[in-house]
Amino acid sequence: MTLNGRRILLGVTGGIAAYKTPELVRRLREAGADVRVVMSAGAEAFITPLTLQAVSGHRVRTHLLDAEAEAGMGHIELARWADQVLIAPATAQVIARLAHGFADDLLSTLVLATEAGVWIAPAMNRVMWDARAVRENCRVLEARGMHVLGPGVGDQACGEQGAGRMLEPDEIVGQLRGREPVLAGLRFVVTAGPTHEPIDPVRFLGNRSSGRMGFAVAEALAEAGARVDLVAGPVRLATPPGVERFDVATAEEMLSAVSARIDHADGFVGVAAVADYRPASLAGDKIKKSGQPLTLQLVENPDILATVARRRPKPFVVGFAAETRDLESAARGKLKAKGADLIAANRVGQNRGFDTEDNTLEVFGADCHWSLGNRSKRDLARELVAIIAERMQPKEHRNQQ
């Protein structure tokens, strides 16, 4: 989508990231957009209207009940003028106000009065971003067709690290043009779902993985511009747009499907809940009751993640860890033992992790850690992909390892 000639109404609210908005206005104007700015009272504590007036070339509006300003372009005209409304930074406060349809200040009134698309770039402390109220408010806004940009993951003004940082002006401009293809030109192989290890013609050893998390990761990678091969265990899910899917049943089939596609891959994400063991032999006929205990002998399955991580050149390898206890030490153990670059760990149990819509992830690298609190698997996948994009080294460097 070109921004040339676009009329963008920028709403600035009261967060420290407001200091980046003059740069944002400059970038939007460089892209050809005509930008008018509305500021909340809180935003004025961080940046002056004069600065934004200077960079936008238009008077900045700050109050709903401003007789002088209304004599020029009134708030309804301003709402009609906009092709696109962008709120950056969007605080937890403005997100809550929009979710509840408030109309007691200029910005919230404009959002109610406009027919233009609304895009919000949240900026807040990571714990606030994880707060259930904020997540639910964002979901309400998305369900109404608004677009949530980011937030980014990384160092925060409060000294913490995590998700909640406003996207950089360049990233916002890129996303307004269309989702930023940060992984364009890269190829990924993703595994998803359970494996089924047959015991006899009608029974198998399996687990409760629905495939949702792996499919969400494949979708988020494709959204980020990557070419994605998805190797899926037995699940009932539609293939995400832009993703090529290969269905398998057992761990051995999954390994051979991955091996057939990994040669030219830049990254591998192992989300599948692969059975560690399979029956040593497959009964040719249905096993009958005998009145005696039945012993099944199991043999270990190949470890797909570790096999991929041993390859040279090595793709960027992301594993998952499903744990019922000692999450961090178990995840760090798997990171090292399997040779992964990142491990996304989740607690699993009754109604937790497996076969749920939402989840919580702790992502560990050798020298880094991100906490992604409870949210939809789709949102988690997008944030995980942002972390992957940030951590992936240039291809040439990886090939030397």
- The DSSP element (H or E) to which 323 belongs, if any, is strand 316-323
Calculated CA dihedral for residues 271, 398, 339, 165, nearest 10 degrees: -60
- Residues 6+ away with beta carbon under 8 Å from 87: 10, 11, 12, 13, 94, 98, 107, 111, 118, 119, 120, 121
| Closer CB to ligand PMT, 38 or 258, in the complex | 258
Q: Does 373 bind ligand PMT (CB under 6 A)?
A: no
**Choices 60-68, 146-154, 273-281, 283-291 (CB under 6 A): range interacting with ligand PMT:** 273-281
Q: Binding ligand PMT by CB under 6 A: which of 9, 189, 205, 348?
A: 348
| Closer CB to ligand PMT, 212 or 261, in the complex | 212
Q: Binding ligand PMT by CB under 6 A: which of 14, 211, 267, 373?
A: 211
Cβ atoms of 150 and 167 within 8 Å: the answer is: yes
Strands (E) located in 138-180: 147-148, 152-155, 161-165
Report in angstroms how near the CB of residue 299 gets to ligand PMT at its nearest. 12
Cβ atoms of 53 and 69 within 8 Å: the answer is: no
- Residues 6+ away with beta carbon under 8 Å from 142: 148
Report in angstroms how near the CB of residue 211 gets to ligand PMT at its nearest. 5
Q: Does 388 bind ligand PMT (CB under 6 A)?
A: no
Backbone φ, ψ for residue 169 (5° rounding): -50, -45
Q: Binding ligand PMT by CB under 6 A: which of 322, 384, 385, 392?
A: 322
| Catalytic residue (one of 73, 158, 283, 330) | 158
Q: Does 332 bind ligand PMT (CB under 6 A)?
A: no
Which DSSP string corresponds to 33-98? Answer: -EEEEEE-TGGGGTS-HHHHHHHHSSPPB--SS-HHHHHSS-HHHHHHH-SEEEEEEE-HHHHHHH
Report in angstroms how near the CB of residue 194 gets to ligand PMT at its nearest. 7
| Closer CB to ligand PMT, 156 or 195, in the complex | 195
Report in angstroms how near the CB of residue 261 gets to ligand PMT at its nearest. 15
- Residue 368 is among the residues annotated as catalytic for this protein: no
**Choices 82-90, 180-188, 269-277, 285-293 (CB under 6 A): range interacting with ligand PMT:** 269-277
Distance CA 145, CA 382 (A): 18
Q: Binding ligand PMT by CB under 6 A: which of 55, 141, 272, 386?
A: 272
Backbone φ, ψ for residue 344 (5° rounding): -100, 110
Q: Does 364 bind ligand PMT (CB under 6 A)?
A: no
Taking residue 255's Cβ as centre, other Cβ atoms within 10 Å add up to: 21
Distance CA 11, CA 4 (A): 20
Cβ atoms of 18 and 46 within 8 Å: the answer is: yes
Report in angstroms how near the CB of residue 357 gets to ligand PMT at its nearest. 9
**Closest of 324, 355, 346 to residue 207, by C-alpha:** 355
Q: Binding ligand PMT by CB under 6 A: which of 124, 134, 163, 321?
A: 321
Report in angstroms how near the CB of residue 26 gets to ligand PMT at its nearest. 41
Cβ atoms of 75 and 66 within 8 Å: the answer is: no
Q: Does 226 bind ligand PMT (CB under 6 A)?
A: no
Q: Does 43 bind ligand PMT (CB under 6 A)?
A: no
Catalytic positions: 158
Binding site for ligand PMT (CB under 6 A): 191, 193, 209-214, 251, 270-274, 276, 301, 303-305, 319-322, 334, 346, 348, 353-355, 377
